Structure 1
Amino acid sequence: MRGGRNLLKALRLGRSRRRGSGDWWKSSGRRHRNSNDLIIVGFTTLPQTPLTANGSLPATSILTNGSHPIEVAETMHPIAEENGRHRPQSSQSSSSSANGRTPCDWDNALVYQDTNLVSGTLDALIQHLVPTQSYYPDRAYVFAFLLSSRLYIRPHELLGRVFRLAMVTPSHSPKYQSLKEVKIVGHIIQLMGEWTELFPYDFRDERMMGHVRTITQKCVCVDPSIRKEVGNLLSSLLAKLTALERYEDFLHRINTEAALGEPGALSSVLTMCPSPSMLAQQLTHIELERLSKIGPEEFVQAFAKDSSQVEYKDMKKTRNLESYVQWFNRLSYYCASEICKMQKKKTRIRVIEYFIETARECFNIGNFNSLMAIIAGLNMSPVARMKKTWAKVNLSQLAVLEHQMDPSSNFTSYRSTLKAAVWRSAGATDERQRIVIPFFSLLVKDLYFLNEGCASQLGNGHINFDKFWQLAKQVTEVVAWQQIQCPFPKVQTVLTALQTAPVFGESALYLSSFECETAENAQEKERVKYLKSDGVNRISGTPPSTKEAKGSKSEKEKSHK
């Protein structure tokens, strides 16, 4: 899998071609015009009109909008004529529609501004994806459209529609049709190859695989020479889906193991992994593995129930994103459990300082997700309330780390640090300098708001493709981070313990905390009374839910106030 770096390069295509233009990453690869004009590319049937010297139809200027003239580009590009596609051609002059022709309908158009595709109807955007014998969509457009189009059309429906449009042929001689189909099938297989590379989890749906079987059989019948290429494509797809199933089985197994046993009965983290540096490295292994398993489409489909016009209830769900969020919660509770289960104050101090040092090592590596999880664990109310313990802890390093992850002003400090880490990664030759693991919950929050923009249509009914580009750019960065291989040696005993060791739930954490340091005020005494009367069991092997983690966070904030 060529992965994120090639895709990021594709999104950056056009920087050298279009100096001084707008956002370079939004180039669709089909439009090159050195102006700020807003161009509407229609798909309507045109009347008989004299051709220009280059064999195309003349463009017609229809109105102006402030400082930006608005044009209707009614030119048929020679290479797109087979499927009725229109493509804008630059012209030195434009004339009014003196012959009585009406401009092409806004409801059936692609709109460009400053050489960037900014909006269009769903039908027009789908047509833009369809390859012909002489045209193939730009890789950046393929990624952006396949990523966000699922908000409007399900993947299996889109694949079937693209194939039907691609194989539509005009009434030419049988010989011409045969030659045309041979050229088209190569592009169809290329498009399917990119789809399976960029979004392999789409093909967990049996309806997608049904289309794949139909399409590949048709393509091989038309051009037997591509049989080997088709075989390689299917083998690669099967390997990706098999790896996903194994990973899901692994997650189920370790979650089952974590549900067994009592946290206090196991050896402490100080015994399991004496070195904070080693623990940070093993956490980085886990983070990179779990981050790499998240499919790009999960960032869209995770919010589909709130904003999409498409339902996914009948599709097989991939929960790698949710599993990664649960890992963050588990690590926070693991940190708090290791502290609260220590009955001796001296040992608790050592464990707290151990985790602070581990957090510092995570920061140096570029593992911001583990860093934030550890800070969250240290600030959970059952841990934060133990004032006698904290009075003996050296807090200088923790203060620096908390400043870096300060949530004020929308995490300004962290965002600056992340940019520096990305810059370091881009120019690094040492694999250890290339690691970037973002604070995942904040990343998901950012993507959620971008996703809402993708799901909302413009006033004229067009899809806002500018939002598609923005989401694609953000997700492409994540894809690039997913390709990074962890350079540190694995310590399997530590990896297993981190993922399977039982942890306390919130109530059990409070009970353990009150055993370490007795309740000091009326509120705490009331809580102790409630926990004991409720018969809370200290054994809590299952990882806490997201809701429980959020509740703990609110308690932590109240205690700080």
Structure 2
Amino acid sequence: MMSLFLQPLGEVSENGVIYSLSLRKVHCDVDETQDNRRLWTSQLERSIQYGPADALVDHLVPEDGNVDHSYRMCFLAVYRTFMTPTQLLQCLLDRLTSATAVKEEVCQDQPNAIKSIVSFIRVWLDKYVIDFHESNLFNDLQSFLEKKQDLTSQLPELLDLQRLVLSHYRKTPTSPRGVVTPAITEPGMCCHPRCNGTAKEYNWFSEPAQQVAQDLTALDAEIFRGIIPHQCLEYVRKNNTKSSSVYKAIDTFNKVVSHVLSTTLQARNSKGLRSPSSRGKCISHWIDIAQSCRMLKNFSSMKAIMSGLQSSSLFRLKRSWAGLSSDRRSVFKELDELISSESNFQTFRDVLDKEATGKGTHRRQTYEAVHGVVPYLGTLLTDLTMLHTALPDVNKDGLINFEKRRKEFEIIAKLTLFQASASKYLLPLNLSLVHWLYTSPTLSESESFMLSKELEVCSTTSPSPKSSPSSTPLHQTLLVKKSLHLLTIAVGDIPRLSKNDDDDDDSSSGDLKPLSISQRSNSCHEIHSTIIVKITIVTSLTCCNYKSILIEKTEHTDSVIRRALEKYDIVQQHTDNIKAFSLYQIHDKKELLIPEDAVVYYALVIIPREAPVLLVKQKD
């Protein structure tokens, strides 16, 4: 049965649960009497939007046996954001106890209720067995089934479940898909479990760029496959520890960026002297490696290498960049355009989607057919962060916002598909590269910049604006607090009010000229008559990082200003003097003044698939 159109009809509340209603047009059959014309019908659908945890669990295991399989998969991916595995199992066992307690008075729905519960536990064991190992749920489940031994002969579902539990319990717990990911360790220590410290020395510069790219891809693919999807949700909620699989992936990304910086800044010529030509050769080799990663569809290391090359410490080295050939400049420009952050990395996202589905048109003259893909994790974490910042976990009545979880599940499902694609690589893991990457000493952020200034004191720009990096400082490009090299998940960075230092090539927001907004447009980030925007505040004393807020369709300028002040929790007396602030939209390097009586939703200039950027500024 094929479905086409989905027409929202509104919401309905029932027993403390809020459902959304929609009408879907579906193709149900072919009318052979009328030249095989398709017959269509309309179906009324309802899905949970808000509800308590018990109601969400009830929807998993309906007593009538009419199971919603898509809801189950969504629930299993996101339930840890509002309950623990232990709590979920207890809810299921309570329902199973109630269903089996009425054995003498068997009702029509009892067998269906038992089947629903048992089938869900089987799916849970099959898809997320790690929950049972991490939370020691096997003992609880096995103890329950042993107490129901007298019913297993009459209820074969329980007997099958008991056998399944025993088979899973005997297996050694592993990471998802059998991947063992490296842990974060102190410098000088290799974190990979297979690296025993006896690996051969790895000389990245003497190795062909294609070989280094393959070695990086083999490591990145293994680590990416080892990411536990629900830990991404914990990461954006800051609920997980640095031992999580997400932080391990971030740490590896950071290591690559650190080595790009350190190897280039510390490069020496044949006489053991540091020179612009030796640094230029390193830059050229890293560009070749980044291009090879692109051909292998390893977007993680490609992005890491480009982030290192575009850091302020390397970007300012005018004489070092001057030695690049025109071909490498062209390659660098192509890669720079690919990872551009404009329109929320839209170019990068489009290419990634094409490559992941095998529809990419990028030429691969050197390699055989490449089927695997390693995406840049930062884009997925950015999407989750924006979503989490804009939508609350619960509504005003304390009901769980499951509609938000559905949107999060869409991102998690995409991550899972990428992991399946990453498993298609057939590249051997080079332990020499792993040992070099995790044990070789690297420069810190301050050390890198100090050395950069010593090397080329007077450099202010790259030799050619057409082929040079975009001058984005490293701390704007990369993830994790107080770390030099991060995957970008921050919604934004502080606007620069003035130029300083010879390394800062960013435009100053102080140069922006206020203009009046007259444009009108529809929202590109609409969620039921709302729009997600990035906003910051500048006063005489403070300049804040960007945060995301959700603007309603009917909100006026003063309401948005008030909510921004409350979100940043700065100078409480300001919230009583909203008229002392103005609201601007930063667009095309200009500050567009939003009138005081405007409806902000309709006053914004919208760029497709890019969140508008707003600025709250204290009046002179």
TM superposition score normalised by structure 2: 0.60
Q: 1:509 corresponds to which letter in structure 2?
A: S
Distance 2:185 2:176 in 1: 14
Partner of 1:479: 416
Query: For residues 467-513 of structure 1, what are the alpha-carbon distances to aligned partners after superposition, in whole Å with 9 as ceiling and x for unaligned?
Result: 22221122111111112324343134334433443322223334544
Q: Residue 300 of structure 1 corresponds to which residue in structure 2?
A: 233
Aligned to 2:262: 337
SS in 2 for 1:117: strand
1:388 to 303, 315, 319: 319
Aligned to 2:3: 18
Question: 401-410 vs 498-507, which deviates more?
Answer: 498-507
Instruction: Measure, in 2, the Cα distance between the counterparts of 1:285 and 1:402.
Output: 24
Residue 42 of structure 1 corresponds to 14
Q: Taking every aligned residue pair, what percent have the same amino acid on both sides?
A: 19
1:440 CA displacement: 1.1
Q: Higher strand fraction: Structure 1 or Structure 2?
A: 2
SS where residue 120 of structure 1 aligns? strand
1:211 aligns with: 140
Q: What's the offset of the Cα at 1:441? A: 1.5
1:362 match: 293
* Aligned positions of 1:79-478 closer than 5 A: 107-108=16-17, 110-114=19-23, 115-122=45-52, 123-132=54-63, 135=65, 137-169=67-99, 174=104, 176=106, 187-206=116-135, 208-218=137-147, 222-223=151-152, 230-233=162-165, 235-236=167-168, 239=171, 241-243=173-175, 250-251=182-183, 257-258=189-190, 268-271=203-206, 274-305=207-238, 319-344=244-269, 345=275, 346-394=277-325, 395-424=329-358, 432-452=369-389, 455-459=392-396, 462-478=399-415
Relative to structure 1, the CA distance from residue 552 to residue 343 in structure 2 (aligned partners, 3 Å threshold; closer, same or farther) is: farther
Q: What letter matches 2:441 in structure 1? A: P
- Residue 478 of structure 1 aligns to a residue in which SS? helix
Check whether the contact 2:384–2:408 (CA below 8 A) recurs between aligned residues: yes
Aligned with 2:447 (options 508, 511, 527)? 508
Q: Which runs of 5+ in 1 are unaligned?
A: 1-15, 23-35, 44-106, 260-265, 306-311, 523-543
Counterparts of 1:173 and 1:387, CA distance in 2: 82
1 CA distance for matches of 2:392 and 2:236? Answer: 10
Question: Which stretch of structure 1 is more off in the superposition, 202-211 or 502-511?
Answer: 202-211
SS of equivalent residue, structure 1 residue 21: strand
Q: Which residue of the partner structure matches residue 560 of structure 1? A: 505
> Which is bigger in relative contact order (C-alpha 8 A, separation at least 6)?
1
8 Å CA contact 2:78, 2:405 repeated in 1: yes
Relative to 1, partners in 2 of residues 1:247 and 1:256: Cα closer, same or farther, differing over 3 Å? farther
Instruction: Give 1:373 shift.
Output: 0.4
Could you tell me which runs of 5 or more consecutive residues in structure 2 were left unpaired when the two chains were aligned: 24-44, 192-200, 270-274, 362-366, 461-478, 494-499, 507-620
User: Contact 1:167–1:181 (CA<8 Å) still a contact in 2?
Assistant: no
Distance 1:399 1:556, change over 3 A: farther
Q: Higher helix fraction: Structure 1 or Structure 2?
A: 1
Q: Matched residues in 2 for 1:200 and 1:170: separation?
A: 25
Note if contact 2:181-2:226 (Cα within 8 Å) is conserved in structure 1.
Answer: no
- Quote the residue 2:437 is aligned against: 498
Tell me the secondary structure at the aligned position of residue 497 of structure 1: helix
Q: Distance in 1 between matches of 2:343 and 2:229?
A: 28
- Following TM superposition, by how much is the alpha carbon of 1:347 offset from its aligned partner in structure 2, in angstroms? 3.2
Aligned mates of 1:347, 1:436 — CA distance in 2: 33
Q: CA deviation at 1:438?
A: 2.1
Q: Measure, in 1, the Cα distance between the counterparts of 2:380 and 2:48.
A: 24
Question: 2-side partners of 1:426 and 1:180: how far apart?
Answer: 51
Give RMSD over aligned pairs.
Answer: 4.1
Distance 1:168 1:411 in 2: 51
